[in-house]
A and B are shown apart, each in its own frame.
Chain A
Amino acid sequence: GAVVSQHPSRVICKSGTSVKIECRSLDFQATTMFWYRQFPKQSLMLMATSNEGSKATYEQGVEKDKFLINHASLTLSTLTVTSAHPEDSSFYICSARDRLEREKLFFGSGTQLSVL
């Protein structure tokens, strides 16, 4: 099956610093990628939709200046958590939709962010 690679898997940072998370589709082209966050024992919450070559669309309540999304190519999207604070600590998951098989969504392994 298709593989989505997400890095890093875990990051610990100090409050006020920025953290970048990468999401790559390894064997398929993804015109659209999605970013989710998940708190313990809760479901995934969609944060934003990113389309290659255009600005991301953010869900209500998600600050676009805090969560910067770049989708520069058909295989790479990045999420940067700027000026991170402890309340940003969460599990972040990216997913990619296959350009050719649009009904299939593949997920990265997730990034556990802990802000001290």
Chain B
Amino acid sequence: LAKTTQPISMDSYEGQEVNITCSHNNIATNDYITWYQQFPSQGPRFIIQGYKTKVTNEVASLFIPADRKSSTLSLPRVSLSDTAVYYCLVGIETGANNLFFGTGTRLTVIP
């Protein structure tokens, strides 16, 4: 059973910032939060990982509030090529139960 909850779908226009939130109320103390992107007929691709506060890389930012019960993936200025399904996973190390994928969020970028 997935331990995360995300919106099933989102639409955005090109050039806009997109924020996708994942709820993980039962996150454990040692759990990291990891986001993946999946295109059709491909395996998921690692985007970003964080433990608390804010993490930024060349692709995205990850915002994690103090209670860590949720996280928000922020994609700046999306393009058509960002159309994909985005998944969050919590606690990859701590147990097989954490490897169940939730529904993910299907992001559609509109021209």
Q: Spell out A's residues near B (CB within 8 Å).
A: 1, 4, 6, 34, 36, 43-46, 49, 57, 91, 93-95, 97, 102-110, 112
B101:A105 contact, CB within 8 angstroms: no
**Which of A102, A108, A110, A112 sits near B92, CB closer than 8 Å?**
A102
| Residues of B participating in the A interface, judged by any CB pair closer than 8 Å | 2, 32, 34, 36, 41-46, 49, 87, 89, 92-93, 96, 99-104
- Interchain Cβ contacts under 8 Å between A and B, 11 examples: A1-B46, A4-B43, A36-B101, A44-B101, A57-B96, A102-B93, A105-B99, A107-B36, A109-B42, A109-B43, A110-B41
Nearest chain A CB to B51's CB is how many angstroms away?
9
Number of A-B residue pairs at CB separation under 8 A: 58
CB–CB B43/A46 < 8 A: no
Task: Report chain A residues within 8 Å CB of B42.
Answer: 109-110
In the bound complex, do residue B103 and residue A43 qualify as a contact, i.e. CB atoms below 8 Å apart? yes
Nearest CB on B from A16, distance (A): 26
- Chain A residue contacts of B34, Cβ below 8 A: 103-105
Residues of B within 8 A of A105 (CB): 34, 46, 89, 92, 99
A97 → B minimal CB distance (Å): 7
| Chain B residue contacts of A103, Cβ below 8 A | 32, 34, 49, 92-93
B31 CB to nearest chain A CB (Å): 9
Contact B41 A91 (CB under 8 A): yes
Q: Which of A45, A57, A104, A108 contacts B43 (CB 8 A)?
A: A108
B57 to chain A, nearest CB (A): 11
Of all chain B residues, which has the CB nearest A112?
A: B41
The reply to whether B102 and A43 contact each other, CB–CB distance below 8 Å, is yes
Docked complex Cα distance between A97 and B2 (Å): 18
Residues from chain A with a CB closer than 8 A to the CB of B87 are: 43-44
- Closest A-B pairs by Cβ, 7 of them: A107-B43, A102-B93, A44-B101, A103-B32, A43-B101, A103-B93, A110-B43
